[in-house]
């Protein structure tokens, strides 16, 4: 028998070792990216274990096949600044984009954003659904974007409590926009792609209104609903700036007066379950496609959500519930299934994607690649997460602590090991001074003025508060 030639040996290696890293297996093709964004999804997903009632089998299945993060945090607890920061690589304090009324486009040029970086590297960029905050889209950043998501069905009768909107619908799953968004992205996965693709799929649910077909409500019988952990008077040790963000006299007072707290929890759980179904459809389509083994999946929520914890509803605060959201990475040839307990924020997504895809990371990007954690979830990592809400209000989250400092100097500090529900503010304890000083070093020393205030000569701040309250 003649010895194998060099070319034959290489061919045999590709056949025997099909899961080699992309650069070895397909030297002429960069990995694709499936970029999945979910609106208002907090840590009520199965793999995080925060709420035993939630049902997210598809998200949990995705987490089980890659690296999922148990301590992952948004750059801002508001849709617009969170997404603008993640997509541009620039933190809110750098741009002045702090709230939903801030048009980020004048201060962030298109070439700085993720789609342009990938297109310049030879990718085709597709997008559907909510990637940037509605009203401030820049859809020309993509090669192709879903133009019309279609109408949403309306509920009959009672539609919630005040601004907290929820109701079951008499319709089919496919009657909602998210189903059509998933369909559009699934079609892209079924098509022959001549270039590597960056496919962005932005799901709206569980953003309010939590209006989904009745069958999703039926999965969570009202009599079985448990309220989220809470204690009376939880805001007594919170400084005035934090209480002002919580607005206990607003949504929470209305929910208590209505007697429908459990109904609202049921609606949120139903909307999460509906979202999970669409995530499953999308991942199933990828798995059936020719791109399964050469596609990075990154799954993220834009921020968390309160449902009465700390007498607060919605996002718009700097506590655990409003800042923590899921983060899952599946990168063939890099990730192995595992849970990472290191603390990261979503500013890491941009540089990690470029790192994994062999694309130079633009110099303006402020986050750090977490590729080392994808390769080894237990690797050493000493960079805390940081979240900003409005001008010069910051929270820093390490594995053991959360430190909040407001623009007026008010402080909160929580020992997350002993007090994971953040009931006791220990910022005033003298023995914690060193901890505050160390975490405080992470906070920015320069904070740009509110972009809306700059644009309107001071009128933007009030407008921003109104817009945030409506979201």
Which are the catalytic amino acids?
79, 133
d(CA 129, CA 400): 36
Beta strands 411-415 and 313-314 are: unpaired
CB-based contacts of 151: which residues, under 8 Å, 6+ apart? 177
Tokens of 89: 């690589």
8 Å CB contact between 330 and 302:
no
CB atoms within 10 A of CB 186: 19
Tokens of 270: 């139903």
8 Å CB contact between 272 and 206:
yes
Beta partners for 402? 397, 414
d(CA 218, CA 224): 11
- The residue count of the chain comes to 471
CB-based contacts of 180: which residues, under 8 Å, 6+ apart? 146, 149, 150, 174
DSSP 250: I
Q: What share of the chain is helix, strand, coil (3-state, %, to 5)?
A: 40, 20, 45
User: What is the phi/psi pair of residue 68, to 5°?
Assistant: -110, 145
d(CA 64, CA 60): 6
SS3 401: strand
**Spatial CA neighbour of 436 closest among 396, 399, 406, 408:** 396
8 Å CB contact between 333 and 64:
no
Tokens of 229: 């952990």
> In terms of C-beta density within 10 A (0-12 exposed, 13-18 middle, 19 or more buried), how is residue 194 classed?
exposed
8 Å CB contact between 79 and 355:
no
DSSP 306: E
Tokens of 400: 């053991």
8 Å CB contact between 387 and 76:
yes
8 Å CB contact between 74 and 241:
no
């Amino acid at each position: 028998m003649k010895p194998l030639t060099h070319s034959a040996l290489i061919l045999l290696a590709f056949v025997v070792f099909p899961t080699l890293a992309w650069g070895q297996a397909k030297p002429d093709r960069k990995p694709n990216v499936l970029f999945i964004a979910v609106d208002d999804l907090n840590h009520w997903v199965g793999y995080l274990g925060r709420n035993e009632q939630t049902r997210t089998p598809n998200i949990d299945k995705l987490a089980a096949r890659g690296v999922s993060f148990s301590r992952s945090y948004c750059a801002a607890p508001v849709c617009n600044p969170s997404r603008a920061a993640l997509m541009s690589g620039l933190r809110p304090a750098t741009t002045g984009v702090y709230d939903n009324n801030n048009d980020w486009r004048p201060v962030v040029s298109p070439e700085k954003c993720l789609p342009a970086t990938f297109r310049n590297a030879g990718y085709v960029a597709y997008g559907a659904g909510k990637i940037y905050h509605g009203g401030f889209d820049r859809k020309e950043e993509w090669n192709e974007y879903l133009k019309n998501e279609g109408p949403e069905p309306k509920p009959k009768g009672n539609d919630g409590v005040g601004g907290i909107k929820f109701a079951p619908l008499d319709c089919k799953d496919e009657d909602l926009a998210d189903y059509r968004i998933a369909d559009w992205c699934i079609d892209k996965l079924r098509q022959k792609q001549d270039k590597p693709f960056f496919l962005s799929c932005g799901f709206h649910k569980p953003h309010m209104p939590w209006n989904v077909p009745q069958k999703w409500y039926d999965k969570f019988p009202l009599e079985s609903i448990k309220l989220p952990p809470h204690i009376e008077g939880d805001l007594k040790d919170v400084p005035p700036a934090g209480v002002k963000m919580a607005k206990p006299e607003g949504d929470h007072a209305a929910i208590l007066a209505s007697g429908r707290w459990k109904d609202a929890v049921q609606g949120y759980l139903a909307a999460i379950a509906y979202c999970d179904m669409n995530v499953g459809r999308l991942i199933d389509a990828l798995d059936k496609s020719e791109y399964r083994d050469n596609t990075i999946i990154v799954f993220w929520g834009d921020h968390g959500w309160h449902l009465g914890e700390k007498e607060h509803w919605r996002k718009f605060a700097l506590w655990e519930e409003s800042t923590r959201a899921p983060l899952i990475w599946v990168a063939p040839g890099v990730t192995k299934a595992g849970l990472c307990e290191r603390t990261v924020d979503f500013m890491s997504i941009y540089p990690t994607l470029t790192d994994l895809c062999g694309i130079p990371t633009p110099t303006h990007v402020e986050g750090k690649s977490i590729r080392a954690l994808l390769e080894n979830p237990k690797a050493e990592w000493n960079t805390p997460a940081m979240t900003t809400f409005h001008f010069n209000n910051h929270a820093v989250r390490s594995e053991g602590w959360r430190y909040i400092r407001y623009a007026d100097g008010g402080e909160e500090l929580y020992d997350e090991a002993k007090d994971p529900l953040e009931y006791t503010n220990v910022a005033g304890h003298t023995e914690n001074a060193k901890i505050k000083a160390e975490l405080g070093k992470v906070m920015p020393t320069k904070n740009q003025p509110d972009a809306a205030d700059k644009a309107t000569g001071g009128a933007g701040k009030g407008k921003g508060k109104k817009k945030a309250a409506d979201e």
